[in-house]
Homo-oligomer: A and B are copies of this chain.
């Protein structure tokens, strides 16, 4: 890939990821990112609001896709099935990106500010799924519980998928297996209670 290829945004993102990995997020400056990409700081700020956005630019699109998945689930699906289907629908976004996801995960894990930002992102996803379930007519506390359980499965599943050495199971499969484990766990420990209306 030539240095002068006009994909400025992609070059800046790749340069940033490299530098965050090499020197840490905190220690990397926008000037260094721009220099490594062979571009100017002004160009960086035309594409990204700040250093952090390189790592979180996909969050809004992810949330939108997840909500679309909730909306698109079959009308007769149980709430937890709706959430599982929505999560399955976003898994392909990550399929080609395991190396990037792995690199990103390590950068986020190494920095408290980024870990906090990641928590906020996940809380926003849970809130968006909860709201989309309300739209489908799911009551409380079922909507919040299903959304929170789903986002926990996503978080734990993503960690496991990224960490897997063999690049074997796809994210969707990992999450489906976790839903199954959650079901077994809950069945082993708590008697179901009829929802109050």
Give A139-186 interface residues, CB cut-off 8 Å to B: 141-142, 144-146, 148-149, 152-153, 155-156, 160, 177-186
Query: For residue A80, which residues in chain B have a CB less than 8 angstroms away from its CB?
Result: 185-186, 188-190
- Give min CB distance, A137 to chain B, whole Å: 15
Q: Least Cβ distance of A38 to chain B in Å?
A: 36
- Tell me if A192 is interfacial: C-beta within 8 Å of chain B: yes
Cβ–Cβ contact B185 & A180, under 8 A: no
Cα distance A194–B188 in the bound complex, in angstroms: 11
**Most interface-central of A186, A187, A194 (chain B CB within 10 A):** A186
| Interface range on chain A (Cβ under 8 Å from partner) | 35 or more
Does A41 count as interface, using CB distance less than 8 angstroms? no
Count of this chain's copies in the oligomeric assembly: 2
What is the minimal beta-carbon distance from A156 to any residue of chain B, in angstroms? 5
Least CB distance, A183 to chain B, in whole angstroms: 4
Distance of A191 from chain B, by nearest CB (Å): 6
Chain B residue at minimum C-beta to C-beta distance from A188: B78
**Interface flag for A116 (CB, 8 Å):** yes
Whether A190 contacts B180 in the complex (CB less than 8 A), given A120-B116, A123-B119, A152-B149, comes out as: yes
Determine if A190 and B185 form an interchain contact, defined as CB atoms under 8 angstroms apart.
no
Q: Which of A153, A155, A188: most chain B CB closer than 10 A?
A: A188
A contacts, CB < 8 Å to B = 77-81, 84, 116, 119-120, 123, 141-142, 144-146, 148-149, 152-153, 155-156, 160, 177-196
